[in-house]
Structure 1
Amino acid sequence: MNDTTQRKISWLAAVTVVAATIVAYWPSFEVPFYLDDYLHFIETPALHDAGDVAGIQAYSPARFIANWTLAANYSVHGEDVFGYHLVNLLIHLLAGLGLWLLLSALLRSRALDIKTRPWLRWVPLIATAIFLLHPLQTQAVTYIIQRHASLAAMFYLLSLSAFAWGRLRGDWRLFILTSLAGVLAFFSKQSAATLPLALLLVELLFFRRLGPKSVVVVAAAAALTAVLVAWVLHWPRFDILGTTREVGGMARLDYLVTQFGVLWHYIGQFFLIGEQRLEYDFALVAMDWRMGIVLPALGHLALLILGFLTWRRAPLVAFGILFYYLAHAVESSVIPIRDLAFEHRTYLPNAGLAVALVAGLATMLAGQSRTWQRSAVAGLVLLMGFTLYQTWARNSLWVQPEAFLQANTRLAPDSPRAWTNLGRELLRQEGRTNEALSAIENALTVAAQSTVPFDSSALIILAMAALHERGENFQLLKFAQHLDASALSDQRRFDYHALIGGAFLSFEIAEQAQAHLSEAVSIRPDPNVIAALAHSELMLGHYEQAFLLSQQVLQVIPDHPVANAIASRFQLNQGQ
């Protein structure tokens, strides 16, 4: 096959992969907002105006770039989901382009001789196709708020590709692009902090080849660095321990050994595609020397050793393995994160698995007969078709929030968040309050038995609000017993006291209603709560205080019915 024919086939294959990706994600354009989309985006005014740079920066400085793109979407599309999904799909395709450019550059490095191993020519295209079409990628692409993960990965891969091409061509402008893309990646999501090490990995594997002795030196240096980092983490002068922890009450080593099992689950999901999960019910594992902990750790160690052993003979395989663990280092190591597992965390690392898989197959096929080679090609085509269908099916399920979330409670019955998510969704639907409250009660029961910290305060207040709307105030007060108001944030403490005050008011227990409503107003002078407080004061016979409060409300809402009724009654009494 001459070069011209091969280029034509390559371009045709590339266009086919892009078209297949669009087909696989076509159902995603109808996927509604989900869960954290409401909490961290739709209900956050700071992310509604792309021109309010200061507000976006103040909301989350570490994720400014990704949040700005969401604000830009809101400025243009409002709550029409099509625009958000279009941008997310473009980001996914650009991430695939970054991987293809990176691998295309690495094939031209002196570490690889593709003349003797022609099958390596197809690694960039096939690995990129797997990265784009694998169903495990859907959470980072289809779940709008997880743009943080896909956007960071896009800039991360573009930074690596710019560096590799810069090393090939000696073009300083590409190194500037490397730095710029790296900064954009870091300010999209903090997991991009491993990028400098990934750049070093590319340099050592493909441009400054290391001999056996050098590998030992690098491994020893890495071990020494790990010891130094562990020592620095305990400096009392800096709150490094605090800034590298999302949640308290979780030991770093316990989190690490738990992640050994989580990582094997991710790897299993990559090679043996299972059912889609939004939530997992992994339990936090205590650090000890049980075989259930030692064996997964030894398995990961074996893979890392394989990466080092293939350093010279199969650098792409080594790169894929080592990159996989490096890309997971922030979220699956010693930095405790509230949620032990999420599929979007493996979006970028999956690029490493795709490279290791395809490069390994290409290396093995080099000495095989044409029959074996043709069989391998046919198998890859079937695999692409299967992954396309699975990704399309997963995106189709995302279109049905209730069915998707119910499936998650079946797959992860011991996950408080799975039940919480279902409860929240059912509350948004007319006439589903009983089912929603049942799901919320399941969440509280599971959370009480879980070893993983779970803040149930928002969930309880959500249930209280639903019961208040239904007028089931006795049940509201029962739910409130689960909460310690002194431990709540100001916003939740306001909701807590306002809801309980409203419940006591409905029972005409004026003193307790007045106490809770006063506490709520002291936190935030909400007109509706002030009107309820005025009503409680009226019930206690504090007519002047009730009138003064009603006037405060009427200055803001002139036609407020409760405030007007209280003011009219006071004036009538005064006239008599």
Structure 2
Amino acid sequence: MFKKYHTIFSLIIIWAIGFIIYSNSFRGDFQFDDYTTIVSNPYIKNIYRSHELFTYSPLRFISNFTFTINYYLGKNNVFGYHLVNFSIHAVNAALIFILIRLLIQTPFIVRENKLFLLVVALICSLLFISHPIQTQAVNYISQRSILLAAMFYLLVLILLTKAHLDQIYTRKRSIFYLLAILAFPIALLTKEIIFTLPVAILMINIFFFTKKVRISYNNIAIFLPFALISGLIVFLLHQSLFDTPIPRLHYFLTQIGVLKTYIRLLVLPFNLHLDYNYPITTSFFNLHTIFSLLFLLLIISGGFFMFNKNRFISFGIFLFFLTLTIESSFIPLNDVIFEHRLYLPSVSFFMVIAGILQIITNKIHRNSTISVKLLWSIIVIILVIYTRITYQRNNIWNSDYTLWLDSALKSPYKARPHDGLGVAYLKQNKLKEAADQFQIAVFLDNDYFRAYNNLGVLYEYDGKLEVAEAFYRKSIEKAIHNSASTRNLENLQDRLKILQ
């Protein structure tokens, strides 16, 4: 009876626990980039002109279209947006369960206790849905793009794994393969991380269906259509993935340390916050970078070493680095670190956990002196800890005040958290507290034009129009293409003319 219904039973457990953990997140405010992506974004306001989303952001079309549907159904009611984000997160947890179950059935996985190995998939899914690192991707509505990208990423891998496992049934195999090809171009319109999927497809074939590492005609035949579609999408949409807000070398050197931080956050998810004050590394010759690189090389070496011993662990290690290549390599982004960038790579972490649990379950099968109860106790304790931290993080994400206060306390020497906290105070009509935070922001970063603009807004609201004008001009001086300050200054000047 359990064998027949264990999938449904497992999914109910995953979704029920996930819903309980995120039950306090559905009324959270719009945060940070949500205002430009959703609240004040004219492109999502008319569902009948959704084709214009291609003009706005072609490689995020699917993600933005879901915002269009949300807006059509509930305008700016945050509940609907949060409900969709959580639902996608729950689907992803289910897809991880299915993918691990399928990979357990592949030829080169040692499985002495088949029933308990099925439980491994459930454990990994529960760890995924409850892990505190996911709170940013789930609560930060604008990051629905990474949730959708992960969903399509996992779906394509599942379809191709099914195609491999059904080699005897040629027609069935062709259907799974065709569905994967059809899903892929849709996936490419969610987030740029999908461009790593063709390599992940090749890795699935090599790690789970090939005895030795080799590139065969079969591997190339599977890989090539996805690679060609990727190139075609980039060509047709004229998108560049190579803007350089930070020098490439400096960004790459910084990411060596960031990758180590990401691994630490997966293993020990403590001290989480929105806006990390991570220093830019400009030279390889510093101890932090050298030790971080040695640490990463040790892990990569472990991936090679484990290939013939445990394919789950080996695959998870290499998939982790693969899924971070877009955002943590030579392609500079404005911010060097964000927790939501770990959402899809965290799947790799749980693949490694699956491999470790596979080893443990095989030992339990051979040696009854190893306590199953002890293993379950450890897992339950970890889940309880994860649940507690995740629930607390959801509370912090519920308002811009608590979010930016948390970040300002954890990144006290970075301007943006203080500016964000100042805006939160301004919304509460606490002008003195807001002014103090804006002043701290410009003290920490004299070129932070947003804080000057916000000081202008504050003093204009307080009736000190000449002071406000000076701050607007200062903001424009720091960033000449700053449209918000330019617009605010023009409106203020019109107001001054009327008063004269």
User: What TM-score results when the alignment is normalised by the length of structure 2?
Assistant: 0.88
On the 8 A contact 2:439/2:451 being kept in 1, the answer is no
The answer to whether the aligner puts 1:95 opposite 2:97 as a matched pair is no
User: Partner letter of residue 491 of structure 1?
Assistant: S
Supply the distance in 2 between the matched residues of 1:181 and 1:480 (Cα, whole angstroms).
48
User: Partner letter of residue 425 of structure 1?
Assistant: A
Counterpart for residue 388 of structure 1: 387
Counterpart for residue 435 of structure 1: 433
Supply the distance in 1 between the matched residues of 2:149 and 2:432 (Cα, whole angstroms).
40
The answer to whether the aligner puts 1:471 opposite 2:473 as a matched pair is no
On the 8 A contact 2:14/2:93 being kept in 1, the answer is no
CA gap 1:447/1:76 in 2 versus in 1, 3 angstroms: same
CA gap 1:36/1:188 in 2 versus in 1, 3 angstroms: same
User: Partner letter of residue 375 of structure 1?
Assistant: L
Supply the distance in 2 between the matched residues of 1:135 and 1:12 (Cα, whole angstroms).
24
Supply the distance in 2 between the matched residues of 1:421 and 1:150 (Cα, whole angstroms).
25
CA gap 1:398/1:497 in 2 versus in 1, 3 angstroms: closer
Supply the distance in 2 between the matched residues of 1:67 and 1:78 (Cα, whole angstroms).
14
Counterpart for residue 518 of structure 1: none
User: What TM-score results when the alignment is normalised by the length of structure 1?
Assistant: 0.77
CA gap 1:414/1:185 in 2 versus in 1, 3 angstroms: farther
> C-alpha displacement at 1:86, in angstroms?
1.1
Supply the distance in 2 between the matched residues of 1:8 and 1:24 (Cα, whole angstroms).
25
Counterpart for residue 482 of structure 1: 474
From 201, 209, 212, the equivalent of 1:210 is 212
From 313, 326, 330, the equivalent of 1:330 is 326
> C-alpha displacement at 1:319, in angstroms?
1.1
> C-alpha displacement at 1:466, in angstroms?
2.6
From 37, 42, 47, the equivalent of 1:40 is 37
On the 8 A contact 2:244/2:331 being kept in 1, the answer is no
Supply the distance in 1 between the matched residues of 2:82 and 2:431 (Cα, whole angstroms).
30
Supply the distance in 2 between the matched residues of 1:302 and 1:415 (Cα, whole angstroms).
32
Supply the distance in 1 between the matched residues of 2:401 and 2:31 (Cα, whole angstroms).
10
From 434, 442, 445, the equivalent of 1:444 is 442
Secondary structure of 1:426's counterpart equals helix
Supply the distance in 2 between the matched residues of 1:457 and 1:53 (Cα, whole angstroms).
33
Query: 1:132-143 to 2 correspondence within 5 Å?
Result: 132-143=129-140
> C-alpha displacement at 1:473, in angstroms?
2.4
From 254, 260, 275, the equivalent of 2:256 is 260
- Which segments of structure 1 move beyond 4 Å, counting only runs of 4 or more? 6-11, 116-119, 484-487
Instruction: For residues 451-474 of structure 1, give each alpha carbon's deviation from its aligned partner in whole angstroms, at most 9, with x where no partner exists.
Output: xxxx73344223312322221124
Instruction: For residues 100-131 of structure 1, give each alpha carbon's deviation from its aligned partner in whole angstroms, at most 9, with x where no partner exists.
Output: 22212211111213246764333321111111
On the 8 A contact 2:248/2:330 being kept in 1, the answer is yes
The answer to whether the aligner puts 1:196 opposite 2:194 as a matched pair is no
User: Partner letter of residue 306 of structure 1?
Assistant: G
> C-alpha displacement at 1:26, in angstroms?
0.6
Secondary structure of 1:422's counterpart equals helix
On the 8 A contact 1:119/1:366 being kept in 2, the answer is no
The answer to whether the aligner puts 1:363 opposite 2:365 as a matched pair is no
Supply the distance in 2 between the matched residues of 1:8 and 1:61 (Cα, whole angstroms).
42
Aligned length: 473
The answer to whether the aligner puts 1:353 opposite 2:349 as a matched pair is yes
Counterpart for residue 415 of structure 1: 414
Supply the distance in 2 between the matched residues of 1:157 and 1:81 (Cα, whole angstroms).
27
Moved more, 149-158 or 108-117: 108-117
Secondary structure of 2:47's counterpart equals coil
CA gap 1:484/1:33 in 2 versus in 1, 3 angstroms: closer
The answer to whether the aligner puts 1:286 opposite 2:285 as a matched pair is no
Query: 1:31-430 to 2 correspondence within 5 Å?
Result: 31-115=28-112, 119-170=116-167, 171-211=173-213, 214=214, 243-248=240-245, 250-368=246-364, 369-370=367-368, 371-429=370-428
Supply the distance in 2 between the matched residues of 1:138 and 1:264 (Cα, whole angstroms).
20
Secondary structure of 2:117's counterpart equals helix
User: Partner letter of residue 344 of structure 1?
Assistant: H
On the 8 A contact 2:14/2:94 being kept in 1, the answer is no
> C-alpha displacement at 1:285, in angstroms?
0.8
> C-alpha displacement at 1:173, in angstroms?
1.8
User: Partner letter of residue 209 of structure 2?
Assistant: F
CA gap 1:445/1:181 in 2 versus in 1, 3 angstroms: farther
Supply the distance in 2 between the matched residues of 1:19 and 1:378 (Cα, whole angstroms).
20
Structure 2's unaligned 5+ residue stretches are 168-172, 217-234
User: Partner letter of residue 436 of structure 2?
Assistant: S
Secondary structure of 2:283's counterpart equals coil
On the 8 A contact 1:117/1:363 being kept in 2, the answer is no
Supply the distance in 2 between the matched residues of 1:120 and 1:311 (Cα, whole angstroms).
19
- Name the % identity: 26
> C-alpha displacement at 1:444, in angstroms?
2.0
Supply the distance in 2 between the matched residues of 1:20 and 1:417 (Cα, whole angstroms).
35
On the 8 A contact 2:14/2:90 being kept in 1, the answer is no
On the 8 A contact 1:163/1:174 being kept in 2, the answer is yes
> C-alpha displacement at 1:405, in angstroms?
1.5
Instruction: For residues 155-212 of structure 1, give each alpha carbon's deviation from its aligned partner in whole angstroms, at most 9, with x where no partner exists.
Output: 111111111111212422212221233222221111221111111110110112325x
- In angstroms, what is the RMSD of aligned CA positions? 2.6
Supply the distance in 1 between the matched residues of 2:14 and 2:94 (Cα, whole angstroms).
11
Secondary structure of 2:295's counterpart equals helix
Instruction: For residues 427-482 of structure 1, give each alpha carbon's deviation from its aligned partner in whole angstroms, at most 9, with x where no partner exists.
Output: 222x222222222222222224xxxxxx7334422331232222112432442453
Supply the distance in 2 between the matched residues of 1:124 and 1:334 (Cα, whole angstroms).
34
Supply the distance in 2 between the matched residues of 1:346 and 1:472 (Cα, whole angstroms).
45
> C-alpha displacement at 1:500, in angstroms?
6.0
Supply the distance in 2 between the matched residues of 1:177 and 1:434 (Cα, whole angstroms).
58
CA gap 1:471/1:247 in 2 versus in 1, 3 angstroms: farther
User: Which gives a bigger RCO, structure 1 or 2 (Cα 8 Å, sep 6+)?
Assistant: 2
> C-alpha displacement at 1:8, in angstroms?
5.0
On the 8 A contact 1:118/1:366 being kept in 2, the answer is no
User: Partner letter of residue 432 of structure 2?
Assistant: N
Supply the distance in 1 between the matched residues of 2:436 and 2:405 (Cα, whole angstroms).
13
Instruction: For residues 68-118 of structure 1, give each alpha carbon's deviation from its aligned partner in whole angstroms, at most 9, with x where no partner exists.
Output: 001110000111111111111111111112222221221111121324676
Supply the distance in 2 between the matched residues of 1:140 and 1:117 (Cα, whole angstroms).
33
User: Partner letter of residue 180 of structure 2?
Assistant: T
Structure 1's unaligned 5+ residue stretches are 218-237, 449-454, 506-531, 540-576
Supply the distance in 2 between the matched residues of 1:462 and 1:502 (Cα, whole angstroms).
19
Secondary structure of 1:28's counterpart equals coil
> C-alpha displacement at 1:246, in angstroms?
4.0
Larger Rg: 1
User: Partner letter of residue 332 of structure 2?
Assistant: P
On the 8 A contact 2:472/2:485 being kept in 1, the answer is no
From 21, 26, 29, the equivalent of 2:26 is 29
Secondary structure of 1:482's counterpart equals helix
CA gap 1:47/1:456 in 2 versus in 1, 3 angstroms: farther
Counterpart for residue 548 of structure 1: none
Counterpart for residue 223 of structure 2: none
Moved more, 356-365 or 328-337: 356-365
